[in-house]
Amino acid sequence: MTTLAPMPTREALHQIADLCPKRWVKHYTRSKLSSDPVYGAVAKEVIGTDQPILDIGCGIGLLAHYLHACGHSLPITGFDYDPRKIDSAVAMATAAGHRHLSFTTGDARTGLPKFSGQVVILDILQFFTESEQDALLTAAASRVAPGAKLIVRSGLRDDSGRFRITVLVDYLAKACFWMKAAPTRYPDAAQFERVLVAAGLKVSIKPMWGGTPFNNFLIVGERHYNETQS
């Protein structure tokens, strides 16, 4: 069973940023890892477990590096449809000598890798239609092993100012070419309850705003040991 530190040191976060191939990505990574509460939140959710992790929409693999810096040495597979990001993720893992990290290119709308363990989806559902979101959540839940979790961070649709800022920033990410796509649709809390409970998971949803202006929530679906996988 892996014991994780609650958060890496500042130096460890800077070492991760130094792996990035381009200067502006280094700056982005340093600031994102130090300010975005999601990486620490995922680390807390997987503390004390020994299950491998599938990170769907992994980007350049920051979560994998963060968890390694917390002491997580179990296999982590990153999956993303942007080949440029996967190339960077592979280069960074190779440069760091992390052989337990692997990265593969694929579109989560058309299928996920065969897998059983913990599943993470951070900030990608807004690129999907409602039926694609339902299909992805169901497919991801079917890969959650008994005793493991599906951990999702998503902006939730509501009438708050936070929600409007979330949408604006996602459009800016597309305009500056950091994201391949503009947002399509944001899920709401009821959708997570409906899909994940039907998939046999016990669901909790809590705000994860940290110091950010975004309307982000952490959604955790846990598969108990006495429930069979769908």
Q: Is 72 in the site for ligand SAM (CB under 6 A)?
A: no
**Using the rule CB under 6 A, is 194 a contact of ligand SAM?**
no
Q: Shortest Cβ distance from residue 86 to ligand SAM (Å)?
A: 9
Residue 25 phi, psi dihedral angles, 5° rounding? -70, -35
Does residue 42 interact with ligand SAM by CB under 6 A?
Answer: no
Is the distance from CB of 147 to CB of 223 less than 8 angstroms?
A: yes
Query: Using the rule CB under 6 A, is 130 a contact of ligand SAM?
Result: no
Size of the site for ligand SAM (CB under 6 A): 17
Task: Say whether residue 57 binds ligand SAM (CB under 6 A).
Answer: yes
- State both tokens at 145: 């092993």
Beta bridge partners of 219: 152, 205
Closest C-alpha to 102, from 140, 133, 68, 138: 68
Compute the least distance from the CB of residue 95 to ligand SAM, in Å: 18
Least distance between ligand SAM and beta carbon 79 (Å): 6
**Shortest Cβ distance from residue 146 to ligand SAM (Å)?**
25
CB-based contacts of 137: which residues, under 8 Å, 6+ apart?
121, 125, 150, 152, 192, 195, 196, 199
Is residue 122 at the binding interface for ligand SAM, with CB under 6 A as the rule? yes
Please give the structure tokens belonging to residue 101. 């990290």
Buried b (16+ CB within 10 A) or exposed e, 26-52: bebbbebbeebebbbbbbebbbebebb
Q: Residues 17, 51, 70, 80: which binds ligand SAM (CB under 6 A)?
A: 80
Can you tell me which of 65, 68, 85, 143 binds ligand SAM, judged by CB under 6 A?
85
**Residues in Cβ contact with 134 at an 8 Å cutoff, skipping those fewer than 6 apart:** 191, 195
**Stretch touching ligand SAM by CB under 6 A, among 75-83, 87-95, 192-200, 216-224:** 75-83
20 near ligand SAM (CB under 6 A): no
Determine contact, residues 185/133, Cβ cutoff 8 Å. yes
The residue within the footprint of ligand SAM, chosen from 62, 137, 144, 219 (CB under 6 A), is: 62
What tokens appear for 122 in the block?
């951070």
Which among 9-17, 43-51, 123-131, 201-209 is the span making contact with ligand SAM, rule CB under 6 A? 123-131
Interface residue list for ligand SAM (CB under 6 A):
57-59, 62-63, 80-82, 85, 107-109, 122-124, 127, 180
